A = this chain, B = another copy of it.
Amino acid sequence: MPAEIGLFALSVAYAIWATSSVLGADAGSLRMQEIAGAVREGAQAYLRRQYTTIGIVGIVIFLLLAYFLGLYVAIGFAIGAILSGAAGFIGMNVSVRANVRTAQAATTSLAGGLELAFKAGAITGLLVAGLALLGVTLYFGFLVHSLKLAPDSRTVVDALVALGFGASLISIFARLGGGIFTKGADVGGDLVGKVEAGIPEDDPRNPATIADNVGDNVGDCAGMAADLFETYAVTAVATMVLAAIFFAKTPILANMMTLPLAIGGICIITSIIGTFFVKLGPSQSIMGALYKGLIATGILSLIGIALVIYYLIGFGKLDGVNYTGMALFECGVVGLVVTALIIWITEYYTGTDYRPVKSIAQASVTGHGTNVIQGLAVSMEATALPAIVIIAGILVTYSLAGLFGIAIATATMLALAGMIVALDAFGPVTDNAGGIAEMAGLPKEVRKSTDALDAVGNTTKAVTKGYAIGSAGLGALVLFAAYNEDLKFFIAGKNAYFQGVNPDFSLNNPYVVVGLLFGGLLPYLFGALGMTAVGRAAGAIVEEVRRQFREKPGIMQGTDKPDYGKAVDLLTRAAIKEMIIPSLLPVLSPIVVYFLMYAIAGGGAAGKSAAFSAVGAMLLGVIVTGLFVAISMTSGGGAWDNAKKYIEDGHFGGKGSDAHKSAVTGDTVGDPYKDTAGPAVNPMIKITNIVALLLLAILAH
């Protein structure tokens, strides 16, 4: 336990050191600081409003949980929500200060810009991993050591699940709300600015431009931080729950339950070391510099995980099961390999050097329609290899160490979250830096440096999203197993509600097929709601910008200043309003499906059996379609974005050509795909799972 606190302290120490080093950098000219100030204010205003809304929802849920499941469970929920929110909040606050400094650093060298932007990303990344580890460890320690509860008691398990739920709640709101905000601003701003008024992206005359930069931070920085905090916490919790079940009554129970935390802890160290490997080499390859850091982290983690397993449980045969510690280490290796493969595949599908992006650029020559057709084809194709990698990961780890092997692989995959979030949070900083450089009228060469950083940011953002959904896919079985084992526990425990319940998860059972289909429809409906919300928000921005141009004709001549705050405000309200209904979808679905199936199957024990089977199948159904919807959207969107960048680099006629116009259309379509609907599918899947687990606990009470 003290080890984890030490590791958390280490990650905080790194964050403090890195923050002071970021804040110590030159913040540029007054004009730059003015612009950055507007972005900062907008982002803070948005986050305040979002957190207020979440706070209200959170208090209601807190009270419900306290009433149904007791105070400790409710406190677990609060811890998850507060820490997840804090990770996003701190990360975003660093990000909105690093942007202007990155722009300023880029005036001297590309390496300087890269260093600052990456350091800012790394702060968010390590805080996510550190806070998640701290939350789970401390609360688990408090319950087990201070309250003397058994590590596998219901209260402990339920409290940890509730911790995951708290994180999930922040995550879906941040992902969806942030996604709607950022893409509403982006799509709306581009439509009215680039297309109607004919002014370039990030032109300071466009009233939506500050909102666009605000959006990058709330969506990609705060949103991603909350999302991966949640995946990290949920996976750690699920692995601990499985350990509690598989190693119950063996002497190694405590050590096995500590294992996922220890793996997470050691990887915080390796991630911190890895950040120092991010250095621009003589080839000036930004992606190469980031990869150096990632590869260093990966190799060191391999060694670290081996040590952890050796000291905690040894490499020999484990008590109570028929596999060895060595097999678990091999599962960890599989987790790292799956991560590497998914990153590599995502880069292939979204990078400008490979066939998919080039094929979209090529298709842009014949028009808007063919650009979109090819983009959709690429987005669908991009799902096949990741799915096969996940399938292979499941098969190999299961054959090595059964279900617990899959859990360890997933936990290892997520142990790298610190480094991976660093890569992602790097994106909005560079994106903003480019915007600030443009608005402050910095020289063209500076913009070239920030553009180069930005293009890499597009790929790393897609890579992180692929990683996030990939880990969810691999973890699907683990979460379903947690549901199933919980159910068995309540049935075996002679709980009154579960008398005579006998769920049948066989595909022969029509309730299972119904559950699969119902789960399958959730990502589609959710995606539709997200896309529509962006369309509506963008439409509102178009109207607002048109109004400002009409009422203040001086804006276009540069004699009058646009009202940036109005656009930020409008989007804030739109995003908060639009995120409510889609967020409720995964929260209510398990509950509605349960009681509906219970009633349809005639109530009683038979009704309960049918309903539990349907809900269980729903958990897998939502993964089966969710995996494909999410990967196709995030990879497809990244590919569209970079196809535009590829044309802007001078291919197929370059900027301003007809091919470029078509590519801008594809980019616009890809925006809500990759930044709103796609990434929000991930927290949606996990909320569905967690609500199902909590439903079991509530029914048992």
Interface, chain A (partner B; CB < 8 A): 187, 190-191, 195, 363, 366-370, 372-374, 376-381, 383-384, 387-388, 390-391, 394-395, 398-399, 403, 406, 473, 476-477, 480-481, 484, 504-508, 510, 512-514, 516-518, 520-521, 524-525, 527-529, 531-532, 534-535, 538-539, 542, 600-601, 616-617, 620-621, 624-625, 627-628, 632, 664-665, 667-669, 672-673
A370-B535, A373-B668 known; A617+B517 contact, CB < 8 A: no
Q: Report yes or no: B520 in contact with A512, Cβ–Cβ below 8 A.
A: no
Q: List 10 A-B contacts (CB under 8 A).
A: A363-B535, A366-B542, A370-B539, A373-B534, A384-B525, A387-B518, A387-B520, A395-B514, A505-B506, A520-B625
Q: Report yes or no: A524 in contact with B191, Cβ–Cβ below 8 A.
A: no
A513-B476, A665-B369 known; A381+B628 contact, CB < 8 A: no
**Distance of A404 from chain B, by nearest CB (Å):** 12
Q: Report yes or no: B367 in contact with A531, Cβ–Cβ below 8 A.
A: no
Q: Report yes or no: B473 in contact with A517, Cβ–Cβ below 8 A.
A: yes
Q: Report yes or no: A376 in contact with B191, Cβ–Cβ below 8 A.
A: no
**Alpha-carbon separation in the docked complex, A520 to B383 (Å):** 10
Q: Report yes or no: A624 in contact with B516, Cβ–Cβ below 8 A.
A: yes
Q: Report yes or no: B484 in contact with A394, Cβ–Cβ below 8 A.
A: no
Cβ-neighbour of A532 out of B377, B477, B529 (below 8 A): B377
Residues of B within 8 A of A387 (CB): 517-518, 520-521
Q: Report yes or no: B518 in contact with A391, Cβ–Cβ below 8 A.
A: yes
Q: Report yes or no: A668 in contact with B476, Cβ–Cβ below 8 A.
A: no
Cβ-neighbour of A480 out of B191, B367, B473, B507 (below 8 A): B507
**Distance of A38 from chain B, by nearest CB (Å):** 26
Tell me how many chains of this kind the complex includes. 2
A387-B518, A521-B387, A628-B520 known; A528+B369 contact, CB < 8 A: no
A505-B508, A524-B383, A628-B524 known; A373+B481 contact, CB < 8 A: no
**Alpha-carbon separation in the docked complex, A56 to B542 (Å):** 58
Residues of B within 8 A of A367 (CB): 191, 195, 665, 668
**Alpha-carbon separation in the docked complex, A376 to B669 (Å):** 9
A510-B395, A620-B516 known; A538+B384 contact, CB < 8 A: no
Residues of B within 8 A of A513 (CB): 394, 476-477, 480, 620
Q: Report yes or no: A370 in contact with B187, Cβ–Cβ below 8 A.
A: yes
Among residues of B, the one whose C-beta sits closest to the C-beta of A379 is B528
Q: Report yes or no: B510 in contact with A394, Cβ–Cβ below 8 A.
A: yes
Q: Report yes or no: B517 in contact with A627, Cβ–Cβ below 8 A.
A: yes
A383-B524, A507-B616, A531-B380 known; A372+B665 contact, CB < 8 A: yes
Q: Report yes or no: A620 in contact with B507, Cβ–Cβ below 8 A.
A: yes
Secondary structure class of chain A's binding surface, majority of residues? helix
Among residues of B, the one whose C-beta sits closest to the C-beta of A511 is B395
Q: Report yes or no: A535 in contact with B374, Cβ–Cβ below 8 A.
A: yes
**Alpha-carbon separation in the docked complex, A374 to B373 (Å):** 15
**Distance of A28 from chain B, by nearest CB (Å):** 33
Q: Report yes or no: B627 in contact with A624, Cβ–Cβ below 8 A.
A: no
Given contacts A187-B369, A395-B510, A520-B624, 8 further A-B contacts (CB under 8 A): A370-B539, A374-B531, A383-B525, A384-B525, A394-B513, A476-B513, A507-B616, A507-B617
**Alpha-carbon separation in the docked complex, A410 to B259 (Å):** 51
Q: Report yes or no: A381 in contact with B528, Cβ–Cβ below 8 A.
A: yes
**Distance of A181 from chain B, by nearest CB (Å):** 16
Cβ-neighbour of A669 out of B373, B398, B539 (below 8 A): B373
A514-B395, A625-B625 known; A369+B668 contact, CB < 8 A: yes
**Alpha-carbon separation in the docked complex, A195 to B661 (Å):** 14
Q: Report yes or no: A632 in contact with B373, Cβ–Cβ below 8 A.
A: no
Q: Report yes or no: B369 in contact with A669, Cβ–Cβ below 8 A.
A: yes
Residues of B within 8 A of A518 (CB): 387-388, 391
Q: Report yes or no: B380 in contact with A510, Cβ–Cβ below 8 A.
A: no
Residues of B within 8 A of A481 (CB): 508
Residues of B within 8 A of A381 (CB): 524-525, 528-529, 532
Among residues of B, the one whose C-beta sits closest to the C-beta of A477 is B513
**Alpha-carbon separation in the docked complex, A624 to B520 (Å):** 6
A377-B535, A521-B384, A624-B520 known; A484+B510 contact, CB < 8 A: no
**Alpha-carbon separation in the docked complex, A329 to B367 (Å):** 53
**Alpha-carbon separation in the docked complex, A187 to B378 (Å):** 18
Residues of B within 8 A of A527 (CB): 377, 380
**Alpha-carbon separation in the docked complex, A388 to B190 (Å):** 38
A363-B535, A627-B520 known; A378+B476 contact, CB < 8 A: no
Residues of B within 8 A of A616 (CB): 507
Residues of B within 8 A of A601 (CB): 399
Q: Which 5 residue pairs spanning A and B have beta carbons closest together? A: A369-B668, A381-B528, A377-B531, A380-B528, A505-B507
Residues of B within 8 A of A366 (CB): 191, 538-539, 542
Residues of B within 8 A of A395 (CB): 510, 514, 600
Residues of B within 8 A of A394 (CB): 510, 513-514, 517
Residues of B within 8 A of A380 (CB): 524-525, 527-528, 531
**Alpha-carbon separation in the docked complex, A275 to B628 (Å):** 42
Residues of B within 8 A of A521 (CB): 383-384, 387-388, 628
**Distance of A378 from chain B, by nearest CB (Å):** 7
Residues of B within 8 A of A507 (CB): 480, 484, 505-507, 512, 616-617, 620
**Alpha-carbon separation in the docked complex, A388 to B521 (Å):** 9
**Alpha-carbon separation in the docked complex, A387 to B618 (Å):** 13
Residues of B within 8 A of A508 (CB): 480-481, 484, 505
Residues of B within 8 A of A624 (CB): 516-517, 520, 621, 624-625
**Alpha-carbon separation in the docked complex, A673 to B391 (Å):** 28
Residues of B within 8 A of A528 (CB): 377-381, 384
**Distance of A632 from chain B, by nearest CB (Å):** 7
Among residues of B, the one whose C-beta sits closest to the C-beta of A362 is B539
Residues of B within 8 A of A376 (CB): 531, 669, 673
Residues of B within 8 A of A664 (CB): 369
**Alpha-carbon separation in the docked complex, A65 to B330 (Å):** 44
**Distance of A195 from chain B, by nearest CB (Å):** 6
**Alpha-carbon separation in the docked complex, A28 to B349 (Å):** 53
**Alpha-carbon separation in the docked complex, A378 to B527 (Å):** 10
